[in-house]
Amino acid sequence: MTGSDSVFGTELRNGVEQAVADYNATGGVLGRKLAVEVGDDAGDPKQGIAVAKRFAANYVRFVIGHFNSGVTLAASNFYADNDILAITPASTNPQITSRGYPLIFRTCGRDDEQPKVAAEFLAGLGKTKIAIVYDKSTYGKEMADATRKALSDRGIKEVLYEGVNKDEKDYSALVGKLRSSGADYLYFGGDGVAAGRIVAQMRARGLRTVLIGSSAIASNEFATAGGDAAEGSYMTFPIDPRSRPEAAKIVQEFKSRGIDPEAYTLYAYAAAQVIFQAMDKARSIDPKAVAEAIHSGMSFSTVLGNISYDAAGDVTRPDYGIVVWKKETDGKLDFDPIKPR
């Protein structure tokens, strides 16, 4: 709720609070009203553990979060040890669901899906020079390394591989290296602010290298930091859930409150739907019973469409495609899916 990723924390909170309000308006779950308790991990794993401990002390049995993969990995160890069910709408690190914890789930895809999609897209562009840059965060380097490997598997060697500091203001040294490398495309592993600053500084120096990032740049922060230069940038991201017919009514509810349910808002809403529907199936609010219902193979009707789960706790359908940032008719930057080449 605070820190550099607080915009995403707000999205998660908006999604959960709306879902709870909607379910409470119809009587709640199993005849009981639902309540929301918000914890602020500030994007810090140590704070995430502190939040998890406070939740346990306050008898919270279901958690929707966290946002950052590093925080989710740390907190979910505690949740698993204390029989608290957690669904993250945004943490994409594969380890979150590969450790065999039966009470840990997610509604988003996994990191190891995104690099394959990005590499396939870049390989399909023909003879292009590709640079790979990451922001020295765990997430950023994992994405960069996985994309590098996926490109290598396709016979493509990058012309530049570079790490930069996440919170830098001046990326002129990187821009100079990109110019020297002759890169046509820059794959960036990292968050939206750094990506936006990099693309803005590339354009300011006349460099036309096209940026492609991951879902981590799916925010207004990227558009704000990049300005007009962000237009034409690509990223791997699920098809915008706001466009799904299943989400139409909920999207209008958000907009009536002055909220645009972008990025992870509907993923958080769907996480709540999964928990509530699993409670109904299990006829129980016991986390273990609810987890068994989620693992049962049942299909959940959500704002993301119908989803079901595999044994690890991941959604069973592919979640990523390529989208492009472009200006809408109102002049605002947003992203839309591209047609396959």
If DSSP codes are grouped into helix, strand and coil, which group holds residue 163?
Answer: strand
Q: How far apart are CA 146 and CA 152, in angstroms?
A: 10
Q: How far apart are CA 199 and CA 226, in angstroms?
A: 6
pTM of the model: 0.72
Asked whether the predicted pLDDT for residue 252 surpasses 90, the reply is yes
Element (H, E) at 327: strand 321-327
Instruction: Tell me which residue of 272, 334, 289, 241 sits closest to 12, measured CA to CA.
Output: 272
DSSP tag of 261:
-
Q: Does domain 112-237+320-337 have CATH number 3.40.50.2300?
A: yes
Asked whether the predicted pLDDT for residue 318 surpasses 80, the reply is no
Tell me which fold the domain 6-109+243-307 belongs to.
Rossmann fold (3.40.50)
Q: How far apart are CA 255 and CA 251, in angstroms?
A: 6
pLDDT at position 269 is: 98
The model's pLDDT over 86-136, given as tens digits with 9 standing for 90+, comes to: 999 999 889 999 999 999 999 998 878 899 999 999 999 988 899 999 999
pLDDT at position 92 is: 86
Asked whether the predicted pLDDT for residue 27 surpasses 50, the reply is yes
CB 190 within 8 A of CB 159: no
Mean pLDDT of the 296-316 span: 96
The model's pLDDT over 45-80, given as tens digits with 9 standing for 90+, comes to: 999 999 999 999 999 999 999 999 999 999 999 999
Mean pLDDT of the 289-300 span: 98
User: What values do phi and psi take at 97, rounded to 5?
Assistant: -110, 5
Angle value at C-alpha 64, between 60 and 65, nearest 5 degrees: 115
Mean pLDDT of the 165-171 span: 93
pLDDT at position 195 is: 97
How much is the CA Rg of the chain, to the nearest whole Å?
20
User: What values do phi and psi take at 319, rounded to 5?
Assistant: -120, -10
Percentage of the chain surpassing pLDDT 70? 99
Mean pLDDT of the 183-196 span: 96
Asked whether the predicted pLDDT for residue 341 surpasses 70, the reply is no
pLDDT at position 262 is: 86
Cα distance from N-terminal residue to C-terminal residue, the chain: 39
pLDDT at position 109 is: 87
Placement of tokens 């925080």 in the chain: 71
Q: How far apart are CA 122 and CA 154, in angstroms?
A: 10
Mean pLDDT of the 235-241 span: 84
Average pLDDT, the chain: 94
pLDDT at position 340 is: 42
Residue ranges, comma separated, of all CATH 3.40.50.2300 domains in the chain are 6-109+243-307, 112-237+320-337
